[in-house]
């Protein structure tokens, strides 16, 4: 497929790069990426993916934009408060790059729907803010052998790892089971620096682009940990767990699990400034 | 030495940096190794940048001619 003059101009700064070129840009234009959550991670991640020209971006979120989101969720604006986050996200990504197809999934993922959603995409980005979704996404991607870019953020820290099922470790190799209820505070209780979300979301987009371009080394079997206070990155090697509950040869988990929410995050009433 | 006949050509007069190089790079992708691309670029900034970028990608510039205020380059794809 020949690039149009407009595409050559829009993507010129990355077409110039070694390992991209016209063929790489074509791969990006044909790629299909699912971004789960349009929050602190999903917003910057999807923004950069749309900018790079990813052909189809799926956005999953069941929430509406709240004023407290805007400190970090850069695809939403003040005027969007109250509208579904997938609609707000779609509007902003389309404004940035009209040639990207944006598919909105305004739903909460569970064991009954996730496999149908992820099968339409080449790679999945987990930008969820809760453990039930994180484990569900990991298990669904392992079971359907779908590449997954995990990231988690809390206060001044963030971590990221790419999961290639069958090749490297999965999230359960690292943390086999969700933490007990109440053991880990949520972002809402713990706080988050917007730039930490931004940094990790952009790193997720980087993993996606390397996957699409088949270039560089992805964070497979390596957990990258960022601390914003020290401005440090460190990498921890993560081996595959031969007894992993989901990705080992004899997994205990063969069906998706709907864990219960650990806090009343979802049922909380609107606390935004009126 | 007899000049090889170009397999493709691009007139990039009036095309600014870096789009002139991007178009050269995209055209070279379509060629096979050893084939020749002829380009015409402006003097000044394009002539200062484009040949260097072409060489950085490993291609060979086999001939440079100055024609009026432009340069004609023959590039062998590597």
Domains of chain B (ranges; CATH) run: 8-76 (3.30.110.40)
Upper half-sphere CA count for residue A266 (Cβ side, 13 Å): 12
Q: Name the residue among A12, A21, A22 with its Cβ closest to that of B18.
A: A12
Helix (H/G/I), strand (E/B), else coil: A104? strand
According to the model, what pLDDT value does residue A182 have?
Answer: 76
Q: How far apart are the first and last CA of chain A?
A: 51
Residue A67, exposed/middle/buried by CB under 10 A (0-12, 13-18, 19+)? middle
Which of the residues A12, A20, A24, A27 would you substitute to probe the B interface, choosing the one with the greatest number of B C-beta atoms within 10 Å?
A12
Reduced to 3 states (helix: H, G, I; strand: E, B; else coil), residue A133 is: helix
Please give the Cα distance from A40 to A43 (Å, whole number). Answer: 6
**Measuring CA to CA, which residue among A256, A250, A46 is closest to residue A144?**
A256
At residue B51, φ and ψ (nearest 5 deg) are -60, -40
pLDDT, one tens digit for every residue, chain A (274 residues): 689 999 999 999 999 999 999 999 999 999 999 999 999 999 999 999 999 999 999 999 999 999 999 999 999 999 999 999 999 999 999 999 999 999 999 999 999 999 999 999 999 999 999 999 999 999 999 999 999 999 999 999 999 999 999 999 999 999 999 988 777 776 667 899 999 999 999 999 999 999 999 999 999 999 999 999 999 999 999 999 999 999 999 999 999 999 986 544 444 333 333 3
Length of chain B (residues): 78
Tell me what pLDDT residue A185 has: 72
CB contact under 8 Å between A12 and B29, yes or no, is no
Selection from A210, A131, A223 nearest residue A174 by Cα: A223
Please report how many Cα atoms fall inside a 13 Å half-sphere around the Cα of residue A133, on the Cβ side: 20
Element of type H or E holding B66:
strand B60-67
**Is the Cβ pair B25, A8 closer than 8 Å?**
no
Q: For chains A and B, what is the number of CB pairs under 8 angstroms?
A: 26
Tell me which H or E stretch contains A28.
Answer: helix A21-30
Q: Prior bond to B18 cis, omega within 30?
A: yes
pLDDT in tens, A197-252: 999 999 999 999 999 999 999 999 999 999 999 999 999 999 999 999 999 999 99
Quote the pLDDT of residue A187.
Answer: 61
pLDDT > 50? residue B78: yes
A97-135 in b/e burial notation, b at 16+ Cβ within 10 A?
beebebbbbeeebeeeebeebbeebbbbbbbbbbbbbbb
Residue B4: the pLDDT is: 78
Across the beta sheet with A32-36, what order do the strands follow?
A101-105, A56-60, A32-36, A123-126, A148-154, A157-163, A222-227, A232-237
pLDDT, position A1 = 65
Chain centroid to CA B20: how far? 9
Structure tokens at A183: 């053991």
Q: What is the pLDDT of residue A183?
A: 78
Dig out the tokens for A28 from the structure: 């990006």
Report yes or no: B21 at the A interface, CB cutoff 8 Å.
yes
B15-57 residue pLDDT tens: 999 999 999 999 999 999 999 999 999 999 999 999 999 999 9
Spatial neighbors of A150 by CB under 8 A, at least 6 apart, are: A126, A134, A138, A160, A161, A162, A163, A171
Of A9, A22, A23, the CB nearest to B19: A9
Contact B2, B36 (CB under 8 A): no
Residues in chain A within 8 Å Cβ distance of B57: 18
**Beta partners for residue A123, in sequence order:** A33
CATH fold for the domain made of A19-266: Rossmann fold (3.40.50)
Q: What is the pLDDT of residue A274?
A: 31
Confirm if A105 and A58 have CB atoms less than 8 A apart. yes
Q: Is B49 on the interface with A (CB under 8 A)?
A: no
- Taking the C-alpha atoms of residue A168 and residue A208, their distance in angstroms, rounded to an integer, is 16
Sheet with B70-76: list strands edge to edge. Answer: B8-11, B36-42, B70-76, B60-67
Positive/negative CA dihedral, A39, A43, A44, A45: positive
CA angle A44, A45, A46 (to 5 degrees): 95
Distance from CA of A12 to the nearest CA of B (A): 6
Enzyme catalytic residues of B: 17
Inter-chain touch B26–A8, beta carbons under 8 Å: yes
């Amino acid at each position: 497929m020949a690039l149009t003059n407009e595409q050559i101009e829009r993507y010129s700064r990355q077409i110039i790069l070694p390992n991209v070129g016209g063929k790489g840009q074509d791969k990006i234009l044909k790629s299909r990426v699912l971004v789960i959550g349009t929050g602190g991670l999903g917003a910057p991640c999807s923004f950069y993916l749309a900018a790079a020209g990813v052909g189809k971006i799926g956005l999953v979120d069941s929430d509406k934009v709240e004023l407290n989101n805007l400190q970090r969720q850069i695809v939403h604006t003040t005027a969007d408060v109250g509208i579904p986050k997938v609609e707000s996200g779609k509007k902003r990504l389309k404004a940035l790059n009209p040639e990207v197809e944006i598919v909105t999934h305004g739903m909460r993922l569970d064991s009954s729907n996730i496999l149908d959603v992820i099968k339409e995409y080449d790679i999945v980005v987990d930008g969820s803010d809760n453990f039930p979704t994180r484990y569900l996404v990991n298990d669904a991607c392992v079971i359907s052998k779908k590449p997954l870019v995990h990231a988690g953020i809390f206060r001044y820290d963030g971590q990221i790892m790419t999961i290639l099922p069958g090749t490297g470790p999965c999230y359960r190799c690292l943390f086999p089971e969700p933490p007990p209820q109440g053991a880990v505070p949520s972002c809402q209780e713990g706080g988050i620096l917007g730039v930490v979300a931004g940094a990790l979301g952009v790193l997720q987009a980087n993993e996606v682009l390397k996957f699409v371009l088949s270039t560089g080394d992805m964070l497979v079997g390596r957990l990258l940990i960022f601390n914003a206070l020290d401005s440090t990155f460190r990498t921890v090697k993560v081996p595959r767990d031969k007894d992993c509950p989901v990705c080992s040869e004899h997994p205990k988990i063969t069906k998706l699990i709907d864990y219960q929410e650990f806090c009343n995050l979802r049922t909380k009433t609107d606390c935004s400034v009126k | 030495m007899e000049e090889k006949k170009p397999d493709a050509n691009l007139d990039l007069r009036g095309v600014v940096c870096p789009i002139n190089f991007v178009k050269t790079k995209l055209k070279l992708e379509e060629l096979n190794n050893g084939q020749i691309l002829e380009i015409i670029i402006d003097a000044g900034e394009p002539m200062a940048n484009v040949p260097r970028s072409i060489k950085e990608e490993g291609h060979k510039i086999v001939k440079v001619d100055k024609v009026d205020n432009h340069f004609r380059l023959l590039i062998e794809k590597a």
